Structure 1
Amino acid sequence: MLKVFIVDDEKYIRDELKYFLGKRDHIQIVGETGDGQEVMELVEALEPNLVFLDIQLQNMNGLLLARKILDLKNPPYVILATAYNEYAIQGFEINVADYMVKPFSEDRLKLAIDRIDKQKNNGHKETIETQEMDFHKLCVSQNNRFILIDIGEILYIESTNQGISVYARDEVYGCNYSLKELEERFKKKRFIRTHKSYIVNIDFIDEIIPWFNYTFKVKIKGKPDIEIPVSRNYLKKFKRIVGM
């Protein structure tokens, strides 16, 4: 059984999706909402296998929601939906399962569901774009432009309620990956997760400062006012990697 949750602030879109999906015997619609503020609570409560998610919700950024959903411990598949093709590259960068442009056709929806059924039956997830290469650049955004920067130029990465910020030597960029995805992407590079909200480039750690409850903070080269926490959840691995 494929449990589906639908997020779109247009009721007729939700009704159209329910009509098409209702033709598939193995699909169960477990919930729907047009309110972006309640999405995470409902996803965690209903535990769907698949979320249809509108990018352009009135009260929430759908791309930010997609990142939060995919950062869950056992995330569902996510299919992004929008009326505009221009958001496709951002969908690729988030690594969602599929990307559909409105208005939906029944054939296109069938293709998306068949693809997810195949992945689910095979016991693994694939994404709509590049399976991992040993890639030394990261796609980031600034002023509505997408830029490829060298990973070695990144000082640290921070997750906030507004999204992911990538701090390079002289610039700050946005990024559509979650920290969990970046941690996996950089696991063979010289980066380390120090906190639920931070990943740090080891080459730019200038000083490690003892903090309370046997934790630490790290200072970044060239950024004397920046102190990044090392929480207890990541302390053991951090100390092993830096040789403390």
Structure 2
Amino acid sequence: MLNVLIVDDEKYIRNELRYFLEKHEDINICGECSEGEEAMELVKELNPHIVFLDIELQDMNGLLVARKILDDVNPPYIVFATAYDDYALQGFEIDAVDYIVKPFIEERIEKTLDRLRNRIELKEVDGRKTKDKDNIKLNKLCLTKNNKLYLVDIWEIKFIQSQNNEIIVHTKRGTYGCNYTLKELEDRFKENNLIRTHKSYIVNIDFIDEIIPWFNYTYKIKLKGEETEIPVSRNYLKKFKRRLSI
């Protein structure tokens, strides 16, 4: 059973979303609220698996609420539900799982739920419990290709890329899909040789061939056997230089 928290300042919107979600036997609406501050408290109290979150709340911006929720240990999945589709890019930049636009379309919500179920199922296959703070540490990652699951050793991964709202994992054996966010991967493998260099990239240090100085004191990275040049943005520059003793 997946516990869902609905956050929207319009009651009729909450009721509409509840109506669509309660059609699914594996969905339990564990709570709802209209304000950001209350939402953050309910997340701590109820431990939902998923939060459907409006962006334009009366007391604060939903993007800020999401950032604070995602800063917690083992946070819930965030799905933005809003009338403003121009927020989509910002939503995915902070690792929201999905973004649905009002007025809601039932088929679109079902697609979102399928994505969430797949994400949670893959977590369990990969040896992780969604609400267990003491997650089992594995040096393998469960990836997808042609509707099949593959366990790939971490040392085989060259780099991970976020492209068109999908996560692509480039390995020595080829490319795979992945149902984790970059934030989840960054946190999980921070003790391995995978390092975040950009909002769209994670790189395996072992495959770095060249580090090329770029404008504004940033860098570009060339990997062994890869033509793609991967940026090191200013937001990740300090950590990157410290990790590589530059």
Which of the five TM-score ranges fits, normalised by the shorter chain?
0.5 to 0.7
Task: Give the distance between the partners of 2:15 and 2:149, measured in 1 at CA.
Answer: 27
Task: Give the distance between the partners of 1:243 and 1:52, measured in 2 at CA.
Answer: 36
SS in 2 for 1:238: helix
2:120 corresponds to which of 88, 91, 112: 91
Kept in 1, the 8 Å contact 2:221–2:229? The answer is: yes
- Superposed counterparts of 1:57-68, under 5 Å: 68=92
Normalized against structure 1, the TM-score is what? 0.58
In the other structure, the counterpart of 2:176 is 173
SS in 2 for 1:194: strand
In the other structure, the counterpart of 1:45 is 62
Percent identity of paired positions between Structure 1 and Structure 2: 43
In the other structure, the counterpart of 2:99 is none
Task: Give the distance between the partners of 2:166 and 2:114, measured in 1 at CA.
Answer: 22
Structure 1: segments with no counterpart, 5+ residues: 31-38, 54-63, 73-79, 96-125
Shift of 1:90: 3.0
Q: 1:33-88 CA distances to partner (integer Å, 9 max, x unpaired)?
A: xxxxxx774585385888896xxxxxxxxxx99x949726xxxxxxx977999974
Kept in 1, the 8 Å contact 2:208–2:224? The answer is: yes
Task: Give the distance between the partners of 1:215 and 1:207, measured in 2 at CA.
Answer: 14
User: Which amino acid counterpart does residue 20 of structure 2 have in structure 1?
Assistant: I
Shift of 1:28: 2.8
User: Which amino acid counterpart does residue 90 of structure 1 have in structure 2?
Assistant: R
Task: Give the distance between the partners of 2:54 and 2:34, measured in 1 at CA.
Answer: 17
1:161 corresponds to which of 150, 164, 176: 164
In the other structure, the counterpart of 2:212 is 209
2:33 corresponds to which of 28, 31, 55: 28
In the other structure, the counterpart of 1:111 is none
Higher Cα radius of gyration: 1
Q: 1:15-38 CA distances to partner (integer Å, 9 max, x unpaired)?
A: 879xx989x8x74367xxxxxxxx
Normalized against structure 2, the TM-score is what? 0.58
- Superposed counterparts of 1:6-25, under 5 Å: 12-13=19-20
Q: Does 1:240 align with 2:242?
A: yes
Alignment root-mean-square deviation, CA: 4.6
Structure 2: segments with no counterpart, 5+ residues: 36-52, 70-75, 80-87, 97-108
SS in 2 for 1:135: coil
Change in 2 beyond 3 A, CA 1:213/1:92 = same
SS in 2 for 1:134: coil
